[in-house]
Structure 1
């Protein structure tokens, strides 16, 4: 039998297997679709959370308190050195401007600041930190470098808030990977179990093939193609579900993200890269489940 004839036979046999046990394969396809839909949705939500964390991280700034005796020229020199050391942009906040801003933030209680005999706030430089230096370790190192500069009396960058944001991001990523691993394992087990039922239903055909001299690879190939088709169909159903979800729920989610992180915060659920990943993972799940089922059940 030629290679082309064998290939045609394998695909016909796989298609016949799908037709003869539709309910069994429906369960496998549905399981793969649910797993891929959940993974795709989690990845899209993860991108939204990353955008939110990045936006909140953009609010992190380093406040450098200066010596009261430092003149304007010295403050300008210090600002330039800070910008060169951090790669960010710094702005000088005079004591009077800082006091007026504090009074506005306090609201009605801010009127009490007018009764102070003198302004207790020192001049300061507010540094907007670049995105690549907003990690807790990088900010801590930057604060250490800034404290060593002459004329600096203190540095504050909201260390606790930065570390909490970083911890939230790490927890989401690790939790997502653990959940994905659990779902992946469960999907492979279910797909393998359902395909074993299909193999058992065709055990007579398999015995005849072995009796007439069929090789192990020849017997396995149609079932591997069945698993591949299951994964492909499951990925297609998952993509259709994500497209429907994006159409029905997406506008509300994008409005919420735009409110939290600004007009550019909308995160599309479906992207070409994600679609390709889902198809690849779906086919891999189907093949993996069928490979396990064939190896355990046929013992060939």
Structure 2
């Protein structure tokens, strides 16, 4: 209980300094939280698009029903394939008339259906990379009754390039703001150490152990990080609610997963603790000698 009492006493002795430290940490984490919210929703949107990635194999007109049945059975057994759907010539024409409205008159006047039947392969999660999709397309084209297999190679590559860019940007920005938070907490703890210099020196003289002197400062750093994290969580949630309320078109905007929220608040507390550890060893050791 003593470390907690002393940590709280530090807040009472230096309310302005501690308040500014918590506010600055909270502001850094709010920006990080906003970016995380945007990055998460981008990931959700990209994931929705990824789930639509399909490999389509166009059949020759002389493909027999038995060949198609065998191919579907073999293809669906592949680890990467989630579903194999057969689209007949008539169904392909009906889809074209429905989806391509600008060509509805052309398709309506046709006496012979020019569209081929096809096999549509939906892939499992984890197998939607350009390399995996290309490999599945190759397996599909190996059947002699498949005229051509398509999957939009350039589109798939751009999709995954966007995902890699989003992940890299999130890591860079997240690391930058985490560093800012560490520096702010470290500054607050170092200031508290300097303000209590004489008290620390007396405790060293009377033989106080290292852990006895350190614990209040470490706890102060953890509390500062935790408080800043909770403030950032509240502000981020409020901003999310206001945006959804103000813009009805963003009704599909998703809130962060619960595990992200818990991990973020705990990470803020741990960052505060680590910053305090660094500051305690640096400032006390430099100013007052080794403990």
When normalised by structure 1's length, the TM-score is 0.82
Is the contact made by 1:87 and 1:129 (CA closer than 8 Å) also made in structure 2?
A: yes
Alignment deviations for residues 210-247 of structure 1 (CA, whole Å, 9 cap, x no partner): 23333333322221121122122212212222332233
Q: How does 1:85-164 map to 2 (within 5 A)?
A: 85=78, 86-94=81-89, 96-99=90-93, 101-102=95-96, 105-112=99-106, 119-164=113-158
Is the contact made by 2:57 and 2:146 (CA closer than 8 Å) also made in structure 1?
A: yes
Deviation, structure 1 residue 64: 0.4
1:175 and 1:139 mapped to 2: Cα distance? 26
Is the contact made by 2:56 and 2:119 (CA closer than 8 Å) also made in structure 1?
A: yes
Alignment pair present for 1:170 and 2:164: yes
Is the contact made by 1:62 and 1:128 (CA closer than 8 Å) also made in structure 2?
A: yes
Segments of structure 2 that go 5 or more residues without pairing to the other structure are none
Structure 1 residue corresponding to 2:197, chosen from 178, 203, 213: 203
- Aligned partner of residue 38 in structure 2, secondary structure: helix
User: Would the alpha carbon gap of residues 216 and 155 (structure 1) be closer, same or farther in structure 2, given more than 3 Å must change?
Assistant: same
Segments of structure 1 that go 5 or more residues without pairing to the other structure are 1-6, 259-265
Is the contact made by 1:52 and 1:257 (CA closer than 8 Å) also made in structure 2?
A: no
Alignment pair present for 1:294 and 2:284: no
CA RMSD of aligned residues (A): 2.7
Structure 2 residue corresponding to 1:57, chosen from 40, 50, 74: 50
Q: How does 1:1-300 map to 2 (within 5 A)?
A: 7-8=1-2, 10-85=3-78, 86-94=81-89, 96-99=90-93, 101-102=95-96, 105-112=99-106, 119-251=113-245, 255-256=249-250, 258=252, 267-269=254-256, 271=258, 273-299=259-285, 300=290
Q: Runs in 1 of length 4+ with deviation above 4 angstroms?
A: 103-106, 112-120, 251-255
2:247 and 2:262 mapped to 1: Cα distance? 23
2:226 and 2:91 mapped to 1: Cα distance? 63
Deviation, structure 1 residue 141: 1.3
- Aligned partner of residue 77 in structure 2, secondary structure: helix
2:29 and 2:216 mapped to 1: Cα distance? 24
Deviation, structure 1 residue 24: 1.6
2:55 and 2:129 mapped to 1: Cα distance? 13
- Higher mean alpha-carbon deviation, 125-134 vs 180-189, is at 125-134
- Aligned partner of residue 207 in structure 2, secondary structure: coil
User: Would the alpha carbon gap of residues 297 and 122 (structure 1) be closer, same or farther in structure 2, given more than 3 Å must change?
Assistant: same
1:129 and 1:84 mapped to 2: Cα distance? 12
1:250 and 1:88 mapped to 2: Cα distance? 36
Deviation, structure 1 residue 151: 0.9
Is the contact made by 1:83 and 1:90 (CA closer than 8 Å) also made in structure 2?
A: no
Alignment deviations for residues 93-139 of structure 1 (CA, whole Å, 9 cap, x no partner): 31x54345445544345545677796543332223333343222221
- Aligned partner of residue 163 in structure 1, secondary structure: helix
User: Would the alpha carbon gap of residues 108 and 172 (structure 1) be closer, same or farther in structure 2, given more than 3 Å must change?
Assistant: closer
- Higher mean alpha-carbon deviation, 107-116 vs 123-132, is at 107-116
User: Would the alpha carbon gap of residues 106 and 188 (structure 1) be closer, same or farther in structure 2, given more than 3 Å must change?
Assistant: same
- Aligned partner of residue 116 in structure 2, secondary structure: coil
